[in-house]
Structure 1
Amino acid sequence: MHIIVTGCGRVGSQLAQFLSYEGHDVVIIDREAESFSRLGGGFNGVTLTGIAFDEGLLKEAGIEYADALAAVTNFDNTNLMVAEIATKIYHVPTVLARLYNPENRQAFVRLGIDFVSGTTLLAEMIMRKLLQSDLIVHQDRLEVEMRVIEFAVPWLGGRVMAGDFEDGISSRILALERSGRLLRWDESTRLLVGDRVVLAAKREGMGRLQEIMERMGVK
């Protein structure tokens, strides 16, 4: 996939490194050339210096044929502008923006921009720890048809495979973490106690997933 990342701060640099490691063609944009030092020697993508919402720079980054774009600068207005350009002018198939200040949430919702709020996710993680819950549902937009679910495997009463959570239509695994490290997986990967699973599910697939998670003791 050809993926554009705007913003090479802590979030953008890690995202670009992960995507590059997974073999994607990554272009990352930042207004400060010094920011690219965060990428380290393992990054094999392209870096461009300039304003993230400069259309000329976005064209140079390949926005006309990009498969996905992540706008993750520290400025909500910039992220919103980049996401709007990508969505409404260039029709990039997948566009996600970072919401830096939760007070600006309604602007993203009103314009129909998909977003992730780091502040909200952190609060949810703290809540999960306080309540000793294994399951957390990330859902920033009430009208969204897709939920992102994260849970830890507390117990296994039998063999559970990664493929049990994927049907190719209503649900799929986004990430699998084991012992603090992201794990490469396929449908034959067996889950172990302590694994953390992040998956995306449409509403119609939730019933089947809940049955599987209940058998595993996820609460």
Structure 2
Amino acid sequence: MGCGRVGSTLALSLESQGHDVAVIDQNSTAFRRLGSTFEGKRVTGVGFDRDTLREAGVEDAYAFAAVSNGDNSNILAARVARETFGVEHVVARIYDPGRAEVYQRLGIPTVATVRWTADQMLRRLLPQGSVPEHTDPSGQILIADVPVHAGWVGRRITELESVTGARVAYLTRLGEGLLPAADTVYQDGDIVHLVTTTGTLTSVEQTLDQPPPAH
């Protein structure tokens, strides 16, 4: 949903990879961005309207992206696609960083702009620069999203906890929150949310920036 710069680029990229794509936009002139070679559907209408979504083929869709210029429209369309039509892979573009955080915590994957995106990028670019997601009133205990070296892929979360002395509060896997069990292993792409003390965060970051010790 949305045929602006992001939506048209996404649609053309997906089609170039061999996927069948339908694009929804309220303004039919927006489809000009797709060019004459685009072979997918062009559907004029409101992206959260059920009939419009059905016309676009949402009932058979593998994924749905809401990338219009309105937060409310995007999140509403994403929720309709997921909750009404059962589309498993849904993402929404959100401009308001406060809303982005809320919807991320609700398990609705979002891509936001500017400040929120910059913060998310920094968390992953700087191994010793995690931004605490939550700090207790005393300021001693915090939850932080800590980057993990690729060498940990396939290792149990319990091993990660043992080596760092921290506790894994939860994982974000494919946009969904996951409470790790004793046999849960770290997978490529997982975001690890650790509980640790303020004074040990740096050492935890440094440990996880390295491959795990050999078995």
What corresponds to 1:21 in structure 2? 16
| Pairing 1:59–2:54 present | yes
For residue 79 of structure 1, report the CA deviation from its aligned partner. Answer: 0.5
Alignment of 1:123-202 (within 5 A): 145-146=172-173, 170-171=187-188, 200-201=189-190
**Which segments of 5 or more consecutive residues in structure 2 lack a partner in the other structure?**
134-143, 146-169, 176-185, 193-206
Equivalent residue, structure 2, for 1:121: 117
Q: Aligned partners of 2:102, 2:127: CA distance in 1, in Å? A: 32
- Give, in whole Å, the separation in 2 of the partners of 1:9 and 1:133: 32
> Corresponding residue for 1:217?
none
Q: 1:136 to 1:51 in 2, by over 3 A?
A: farther
Match of 2:92 among 97, 108, 129: 97
Match of 1:31 among 22, 26, 36: 26
5+ unaligned residues in a row in structure 1: which ranges? 1-5, 149-168, 172-199, 213-219
**Deviation at residue 146 of structure 1 after TM alignment:** 2.9
Residues 124 and 112 (structure 1), Cα distance of their counterparts in 2 relative to 1, 3 Å cut: closer
Contact 2:171/2:191, CA 8 A, preserved across alignment? no
Matched AA of 1:62: G
Q: Are residues 85 and 210 of structure 1, via their aligned partners in 2, closer, same or farther at CA, if it must alter by over 3 Å?
A: farther
> Counterpart of 1:185?
none
TM-score (norm 2): 0.58
Distance change (3 Å), C-alpha of 1:123 and 1:202: closer
Q: Could you tell me which residue of structure 2 aligns to residue 153 of structure 1?
A: none
- Residue 84 in 1 paired to residue 84 in 2? no
**Equivalent in the alignment of 1:211:** 211
Helix, strand or coil: the match of 2:211? Answer: helix
Tell me how far 1:105 sits from its aligned partner.
Answer: 2.7
The 8 Å contact of residues 17 and 42 in structure 1, kept in 2 or not, is answered as no
Q: Give the alignment's Cα RMSD to 1 decimal.
A: 3.8
SS at match of 1:145: strand
Question: What secondary structure, in the 3-state scheme, does the structure 1 residue paired with 2:21 have?
Answer: strand
Residue identity (%): 37
Task: Tell me the CA shift for residue 45 of structure 1.
Answer: 1.1
Q: What TM-score comes out, normalization by structure 1 length?
A: 0.57
Question: 1:100: how far off?
Answer: 1.7
Aligned residue pairs, count: 153
Question: Does structure 2 retain, via aligned residues, the 8 Å contact 1:21–1:43?
Answer: no
Larger Rg: 2
Q: Compared with structure 1, are the counterparts of its residues 208 and 17 closer, same or farther at alpha carbon in structure 2 (3 Å cutoff)?
A: farther
> Is the alpha carbon distance of 1:210 and 1:85 closer, same or farther for their aligned partners in structure 2, counting shifts above 3 Å?
farther
CA distance in 2, matches of 1:98, 1:75: 9
Residue 46 of structure 1 is matched in structure 2 by 41
Separation in 1 of the partners of 2:2 and 2:16?
A: 18
